[in-house]
Amino acid sequence: MRRSVEQLAADTIRALSMDAVQQANSGHPGMPLGMADLGVVLWTRFLKVDPTDPTWPDRDRFVVSNGHGSMLLYSLLHLAGFPLSMDDLKNFRQWGSPTAGHPERHPALGIETTTGPLGQGLATAVGLAAAEAHLRAVFGPDLVDHRTYVFAGDGCLMEGISSEAASLAGHLGLGRLIVLYDDNRISIEGSTGLAFTEDVPARFAAFGWQTLAADGHDREAVAAALGEALADETRPTLLSCRTHIAYGAPTKQGSAEAHGSPLGEKEIAGAKQAMAWPVERCFEVDPEVYAFFGSVMARGTTARRAWEESRDRRFSAEPEAAALWRQYWAPGRVEVGPVEGFEVGRSLATRAASGKVINALAPRLPGLVGGSADLAPSNNTLIAGSPDFQAATPEGRNFRFGVREHAMAAMVNGLNLHGGLRAYGATFLVFSDYLRPALRLAALMESPSIFVFTHDSVLLGEDGPTHQPVEHLASLRAIPNLWVVRPADAGETVEAWEVALNRTDGPTALILSRQNLPVLDRAGKEGGVQRGGYVLRDGTDAVLIATGSEVSLALAAADLLAAEGRSLRVVSLPCWEAFFAQDDDYRRSVLGEGLPRASLEAGTTFGWERLTAVCGLNLGIDRFGASAPAGRLAAEFGLTPEAVTERLRHWLG
């Protein structure tokens, strides 16, 4: 009976997927047909989720990394009773529908993360698994006892991010991570033999993974392999499942043609006939399939209720555990408070100030975790007194990501999406190029990830133009929903961290200096960073808008001009995104009415015309940097008080 209803369930997924893609006249039918058996086995025999409470903390996480096969996920969610209706399936890839072309994060619907760019889902899942391991070490298996399952395809494993993430997952011994690899040996251009002939299991074995194999259309073999994977919690598992793309299609099975195009009415009719399906009916679900999924999903509901009872018993017996749980899962608004060494007149780099803020927060925010891409001493990201997060010490809060910027960013997304943690990842600003795809996805799926970027300008000096960011501020500001915060001093750095930690609807990039900057007198100006920009020094002749290390430079130029009888308003604009979110009255009060505007930033001037208009003056660096001491670079690029004053004098004259 089980095999019979399982077969019906798998065929239902295939039929729904074919129908939805055909109706949309757009989509990828091949993967859902090929992985339907895997989906049925995992969801009905192993996965621990509850459609009546999709976001309960101890649910298993399921990620479809090969997100082009989204109809497999949507079909499973619908059949399992998640709030994804048949009308949603019929509106696949249509405006406003939750059944987008590639899965978009919607936890209430059971969609854990946004996927589609290949490899991203797998790397994000490594972050999800790391979060589970850390929280399990802190709270114990009675409160944290779930697994992370991933569907991935050949394309995912070709992308470099998957190797970065898998390498670290093996090193960390994330044994509750299981990847089911859809080994169908087909990509868009044809056979993977055109470009991908490596021994994938051998590669993962070298990473430290357990590697297993099964016929992906033999459900009993898949179930046995999954049972073996569950038995070994010392290593993550790669289960290679040999499948056929578009399984059951009469002429397109095993063909690249089935990857990214509708099968066509004739091919669908042939496939339905082969599995004894009513050809003339679309979006058909036998009531027996709904009943089958309903019965097996009750397992998750029972598990969730048992977890809640166990939690309540423990919290009643251990009030301190309840209080600690709230600190992780519901910390409330974060405020840093005074930090020693940030007094006016002192001088320190904002990267150093950031490190002090992290360690001021760490005792009060135990869910704060993170690390750097092999740059912790330079990024100042270590949490003092905490061990590293390693296989032997999963309670550690310091993550050693190694030189893996791309995987680091995706893992930071996973750590944050899991819940219970606030995670950051750090590198030099110029290397934001290496992690941009994951950063963009963080913005798209509203992950509250924090990215710490130090060495923010050419003034880092002798390392030269390969390491000196010029275009990076402009390029990061171009990403919708990413807040880019470049603080001017230690005081603004405090507020920048408050902005980042109190954001719940998207990521924040903190842009920090290598060189020392004076701590400014901001008395009465507190809270300006939260509003994106504010008047640091008032004036009546013109407005000079600056960010980061150039704010103190702007103030010095204002002093020189004041000696000549000119009154310059200096505006610190650490976060464009927050500033443009303010109302018109506030923005006008900061920028002034009818005053000429100039900008000052040690980067490309691209985009500044949005604030200074056509006739404004934009002072920056519209070329690559050079290898030289910082002082020489400042002089050559006009980043000295005298040079800035001369340019302003000429402009105003």
Tell me whether residue 377 is exposed, middle or buried, using C-beta atoms within 10 angstroms of its C-beta: 0 to 12, 13 to 18, 19 or more.
Answer: exposed
- The whole-angstrom separation of Cα 325 and Cα 327 is 5
Q: How many degrees, rounded to 5, is the angle at CA 359 between CA 357 and CA 361?
A: 70
Q: Fold for domain 534-652?
A: Rossmann fold (3.40.50)
Q: Tokens for 164, please give them.
A: 């970065």
- The whole-angstrom separation of Cα 457 and Cα 428 is 10
pTM score above 0.85 = yes
- The whole-angstrom separation of Cα 148 and Cα 227 is 14
- Return residue ranges of the chain for CATH 3.40.50.970: 2-302, 347-518
Closest CA to 16 of 105, 83, 85: 85
Q: Tokens for 5, please give them.
A: 């209803």
- The whole-angstrom separation of Cα 39 and Cα 77 is 11
The secondary structure element, H or E, covering residue 422 is strand 422-428
Assigned architecture for domain 347-518: 3-Layer(aba) Sandwich (3.40)
DSSP-assigned letters across all residues of 85-139: -HHHHHTTT-TT-SS-SS---BGGGTB-S---STTHHHHHHHHHHHHHHHHHHHH
Q: Could you give the percent of the chain with pLDDT greater than 90? A: 98
Provide the CA 86 distance to its chain's centre, in angstroms: 30
Q: What is the pLDDT of residue 366?
A: 98
Mean pLDDT computed over 46-70: 98
- What's the alpha-carbon Rg for the chain, to the nearest Å? 27
Sign of the C-alpha dihedral computed for residues 351, 357, 363 and 369 taken in this order: negative
Q: What is the mean pLDDT of the chain?
A: 97
For residues 399 and 407, the answer to whether their CB atoms sit within 8 Å is no
Count other C-beta atoms under 10 Å from residue 393's C-beta.
Answer: 14
Contacts of 142 (CB under 8 A, 6+ apart): 310, 311, 314
Q: Fold for domain 2-302?
A: Rossmann fold (3.40.50)
pLDDT in tens, 536-557: 999 999 999 999 999 999 999 9
- The whole-angstrom separation of Cα 564 and Cα 553 is 17
For residues 351 and 378, the answer to whether their CB atoms sit within 8 Å is yes
| Residue of 405, 495, 577, 601 marked active site | 405
Q: Tokens for 37, please give them.
A: 């058996």
Look up 492 and say whether it is catalytic: no
Residue 653 pLDDT grade (very low, low, confident, very high; cuts 50, 70, 90): confident
- The whole-angstrom separation of Cα 307 and Cα 241 is 32
Closest CA to 509 of 558, 557, 453, 548: 453
Distances (CA, A) of 155 to 209, 212, 288: 19, 19, 35
Tell me whether residue 164 is exposed, middle or buried, using C-beta atoms within 10 angstroms of its C-beta: 0 to 12, 13 to 18, 19 or more.
Answer: buried
pLDDT in tens, 85-102: 999 999 999 999 999 999
pLDDT at 2 over 50: no
Mean pLDDT computed over 407-415: 98
Contacts of 313 (CB under 8 A, 6+ apart): none
Contacts of 205 (CB under 8 A, 6+ apart): 211
- The whole-angstrom separation of Cα 436 and Cα 426 is 13
The secondary structure element, H or E, covering residue 63 is strand 61-64
Residue position matching structure tokens 């590697």: 211
Q: What is the pLDDT of residue 1?
A: 38
**Strand partners of residue 572:** 534, 546
At 418, give phi and psi (nearest 5°).
-60, -40
Mean pLDDT computed over 264-275: 97
Q: What is the pLDDT of residue 615?
A: 75
Residue 614 pLDDT grade (very low, low, confident, very high; cuts 50, 70, 90): low
Closest CA to 309 of 420, 144, 143: 143
Mean pLDDT computed over 33-54: 98
Q: What is the pLDDT of residue 170?
A: 98
Q: Tokens for 213, please give them.
A: 């194999």
Mean pLDDT computed over 458-476: 96
424-458: buried (b, 16+ CB within 10 Å) or exposed (e) per residue?
Answer: bbbbbbbbbebbbbbbbbbbbbbbbbbbbbbbbbb
Mean pLDDT computed over 196-202: 97
Contacts of 326 (CB under 8 A, 6+ apart): none
Provide the CA 580 distance to its chain's centre, in angstroms: 24
Q: Tokens for 219, please give them.
A: 């459900």
- Return residue ranges of the chain for CATH 3.40.50.920: 534-652
pLDDT in tens, 114-151: 999 999 999 999 999 999 999 999 999 999 999 999 99
pLDDT in tens, 322-370: 999 999 999 999 999 999 999 999 999 999 999 999 999 999 999 999 9
At 61, give phi and psi (nearest 5°).
-105, 135
pLDDT at 621 over 70: yes
Provide the CA 186 distance to its chain's centre, in angstroms: 28
Contacts of 280 (CB under 8 A, 6+ apart): none
- The whole-angstrom separation of Cα 617 and Cα 614 is 8
pLDDT at 381 over 80: yes
